[in-house]
Amino acid sequence: MASYVDQEGALDIAPEAASVSDASTQDLPEYAIEAHQLRKVYKASGGQPAKEALKGIDLKIKRGSVFGLLGPNGAGKSTFINILAGLVNKTSGNASIWGFDTTVNPRQARGAIGVVPQELNVDPFFTPAEAMELQAGLYGVRKADRRTMEILEAVGLADKADAYARTLSGGMRRRLLVAKALVHTPPVLILDEPTAGVDIELRRQLWDYVKELNKRGTTIVLTTHYLEEAQSLCDEIAIVNHGEVVCCEPTEQLLSRIHEKRVLVRGENPITQVPESLNMLRAEITDDGQLSVMFNPTEIKLADILARINVAGIVVADLSTQEADLEDVFLKLTSD
Domain limits of the chain?
A: 2-255, 261-334
This prediction has a pTM of 0.77
Using the CB atoms, write b or e for 11-49: b if 16+ within 10 Å: bbbeeeeeebbebeeeebbebbbbbeebbbeeeeeeeee
Count CA atoms within 13 Å of residue 27 on its CB side.
6
| 2-255 and 261-334 in the same fold | no
Q: How many other CB atoms are there within 10 angstroms of residue 156's CB atom? A: 16
pLDDT of residue 25: 60
Using the CB atoms, write b or e for 179-209: b if 16+ within 10 Å: bbbbbbbbbbbbbbbbbeebeeebbebbbeb
Overall size of the chain counted in residues: 336
pLDDT of residue 9: 35
pLDDT of residue 10: 33
Q: Measured in whole angstroms, how far is the alpha carbon of residue 166 from the centre of its chain?
A: 27
Taking the C-alpha atoms of residue 161 and residue 179, their distance in angstroms, rounded to an integer, is 11
Write phi, then psi, for 301 (nearest 5 degrees). -85, 150
Taking the C-alpha atoms of residue 210 and residue 114, their distance in angstroms, rounded to an integer, is 13
Residue 89 neighbours by CB under 8 Å, 6+ apart: 83
- Splitting the chain (336 residues) into consecutive groups of 10 residues, what average pLDDT does each group show? 37 36 67 97 89 95 96 92 94 96 94 91 93 94 94 91 92 90 95 82 84 94 89 94 94 81 90 89 90 88 92 91 80 77
| Nearest one of 137, 131, 182, 117 to 155, comparing CA atoms | 182
pLDDT of residue 40: 97
pLDDT of residue 26: 64
| Spatial contact of 292 and 284, defined as CB atoms under 8 Å apart | yes
CA distances from 166 to 126, 179, 201, 282 (A): 8, 16, 22, 51
| Spatial contact of 218 and 187, defined as CB atoms under 8 Å apart | yes
pLDDT of residue 5: 38
pLDDT of residue 258: 72
Query: Which numeric CATH code is attached to 261-334?
Result: 3.30.70.100
The three-state (H, E, C) secondary structure of the chain, written as one string? CEEEECCCCCEEEECCCCCHHHCCHHHCCCEEEEEEEEEEEECCECCECCEEEEEEEEEEEECCCEEEEECCCCCCHHHHHHHHCCCCCCCEEEEEECCEECCCCHHHHHHCEEEECCCCCCCCCCCHHHHHHHHHHHCCCCHHHCCHHHHHHHCCCHHHCCCCHHHCCHHHHHHHHHHHHCCCCCCEEEEECCCCCCCHHHHHHHHHHHHHHHHCCCEEEEECCCHHHHHHHCCEEEEEECCEEEEEEEHHHHHCCCCCEEEEEEECCCCCCCCHHHCCCEEEECCCCCEEEEECCCCCCHHHHHHHHHHCCCCEEEEEEEECCHHHHHHHHHCC
pLDDT of residue 24: 54
Domain 2-255 architecture: 3-Layer(aba) Sandwich (3.40)
Residue type, 243: G
